[in-house]
Amino acid sequence: MARVRQDWATAASGYRQAVTHEPHLHHLWIQLGHMEKEGGAIDAARAAYEMAAQLHPNDAEPLLHLGHMAKAWYQPVDAARYFIRALNRDRANLEALSELARAMPDPDAEAETWIDALTLLGIDPAIQKPEGHQPLPIGAVLLDVTDLIAFFGKRRLPTGIQRVQIEISLAAMEGIVRPIYCIYSSVQRGWIKLDNDRFEALCRLAKQSDDEEDPAWKAHLNDMYRLIAVSRPVHFPRGAILINLGTSWADRNYLLDIRTVRTRDAVIYVPLVFDLIPMIEPTWFIQSLVRDYRAWFRSLLHSADGCLAISEATRRDLVEKSAQCGAPMAASAVPVVRLDGDFRQLSASVDVLQTFGLEPLGYVLLVSTLEPRKNHMGAFRAWMSLADSLGESAMPHLVCVGGRGWLNDDLHRMLHENPGLQRLVRILHGVPDDGLAALYENCLFALYPSFYEGWGLPVSEALSYGKIPAISGVSSLPEAGGSFARYFDPHDAAQIAATVRTLLDEKTRLGAEGAIRKSYVPRSWQQIAAELMAKAQAIPSRTRDTLPRIAGTGVWSLSLSRQGSDDIMSGDPLRHGYGWLAPTMQGCGIRGEDAALWFCWSGSPNAHLHIHVMATGDPVTIAIGLDGLTHKVQYNVHGPTILSYPLPHIPGPLRLAITPSAGEIIVEKIIIS
């Protein structure tokens, strides 16, 4: 119960008691690691995962968790070592292969780890030399598909966001402006160009089946990941446009490196924003996801030249939340690219329904991941109410298709406690595209009682197949459903039931379907892809406008241990340059000469900036250089110290370079007093 309540400390305490009694059960140690990690006890989580790894020497799972945790809380090279250990245990583990390929260490700085990685990948280190930076043509448009490639390492069958990325990517290959597909490497601190033919083959294979053991699928993935492992980042031509089709919160330095290439190469960065729901209603998500999302969003506002929103509702949310965060983004910098695409796919035979225990027109279809926001609970309550009033024999099945999701214990408990509901509900996972097409073609209508959406892909899917969507009248859903949908209040199960009851009437339903056939015209994905790239290309650079604006006193933390604190702001948007290492629990390290703090200062008399630093080894000399001035002050550091510097009275951009003469220093926080 503590886990369900997200009371991580109590849950961790319970698992600690369990491993005291049953110390040999490695799955309990893994669960303890999860609870410690969610509660922020990162070192304790690492110890628990390590214990699980010791107990089962052939199990790669705890090492994968350690690798992901190292990516988020330590350094990328630590992550690479964990993924190498995982592959040593399970050479066929695609997730470990995927992660290692994107976290290949520098052969000069980490020669031993680099050789170990190549050996595991079946590449001879003696003949493999990393290529130089690949040049790109002037005016290049790049599509960042990092999280799609990472997704393929875990699952084959795409869900909502991945389906959009795949459809846009495939359509863009046929367009007039053909983009370059790339992924971000957290270790190499740059973007690696993908081979178009290999990427296209993966996208097409992903849509065909959920069989992750298919030899063709595994062979294509292996081929792609090995090519990524030996590739070097591209060199951006000035004015290149980088469009992120997915998310970017998995890598702590992603937005830092975006800011750096925007400044140095005049790259224009435009992410596609699907929704801001973790900012709007955090109770629908796991706490750690909300924490990371908030930190990412605040940093994004200082890193993007503009954004592409998938609906007017998402654009309104972005403009509103950006203003609340003190970094307003104008509506003109957030053009809308609607996802009203044609989702029709080749359909499996109607006989596939028999494998699900269904008959044509004997069910209503609800397509979405099982999570609180999607409101399956409201649908279940409506079905129970209708069964009471109409009789169970008169009720169609409710077929729920989607991923297993999270925070859905109450939903499964409700099913378990109501045998009648169990008889009326089918929950299906891993349905491939042709099976989903058959389910849409043969359903009575579609139901989508979600509390909040960025667009509502199942609504467009239903309309593409000529089926009526019965949906919530909130957020972006009226944009997706238009005049063709039937609407209800998702908080009112009686309204949901009444809408469903209306559509069970054959005459009403057939009339609505006729209107869809006559007037609904979905757009092709080629049209959507062309619009997306055209609107991204029209967004001007605003590098100076996105600098953080500081007008008074405050504390900005570079330590992950203080991330999410109400009284301390994230210092991530202040960072610029490749000299910064990834943030950790202690702070953010600096190595080399390319690290700076950069912000817009309002100007104030008697203001001082205090940089809390610590050397990691022998005492080093730190030079603080102020933008526009040649004056530098030397500091000998041994252990923790505070570097104080007077801020100018005159307002304007302020860039402070921080350079250790040798070795590495850690910046914990910045204070202005």
What is the model's pLDDT at position 494?
A: 96
Nearest to residue 424, comparing CAs of 402, 391, 446? 391
- Give every CB contact of residue 463 below 8 A, 6+ residues apart in sequence: 469, 481, 484, 485, 516, 520, 522
Pairing mode of beta strands 652-660, 620-626: antiparallel
List phi, psi (to 5°) of 181. -95, 135
pLDDT digits (tens, 9 = 90+) for 596-626: 999 998 888 888 889 999 887 777 777 777 6
CA distance 578 to 592: 9
Mean pLDDT of 644-673: 87
What is the model's pLDDT at position 626?
A: 65
Mean pLDDT of 269-289: 90
Greater pLDDT, 8 or 355: 355
What is the model's pLDDT at position 271?
A: 97
Mean pLDDT of 297-324: 96
8 Å CB contact between 372 and 408:
yes
pLDDT, mean over the chain: 88
pLDDT category, 128, cuts 50, 70, 90? low
pLDDT digits (tens, 9 = 90+) for 407-446: 667 777 888 888 888 899 999 988 888 899 999 999 999 9
Whether 314 shows a pLDDT value over 50: the answer reads yes
Domains detected in the chain = 8-120 (1.25.40.10), 134-333 (3.40.50), 352-522 (3.40.50.2000), 547-672 (2.60.120.260)
Nearest to residue 516, comparing CAs of 454, 448, 466? 466
Mean pLDDT of 300-320: 96
What is the model's pLDDT at position 630?
A: 46
pLDDT category, 292, cuts 50, 70, 90? confident
- Give every CB contact of residue 144 below 8 A, 6+ residues apart in sequence: 182, 183, 184, 191, 242, 243, 244, 245, 246, 248
Q: Is the pTM of this model over 0.85?
A: yes
CA distance 181 to 101: 16
Mean pLDDT of 318-330: 94
Greater pLDDT, 177 or 82: 82
Which of 283-297, 321-335, 611-625 shows the lowest per-residue confidence on average (mean pLDDT)? Answer: 611-625
Percent of the chain at pLDDT exceeding 70:
95
CA distance 375 to 414: 13
What is the model's pLDDT at position 577?
A: 94
pLDDT category, 503, cuts 50, 70, 90? very high
pLDDT category, 406, cuts 50, 70, 90? low
What is the model's pLDDT at position 628?
A: 55
Mean pLDDT of 278-300: 87
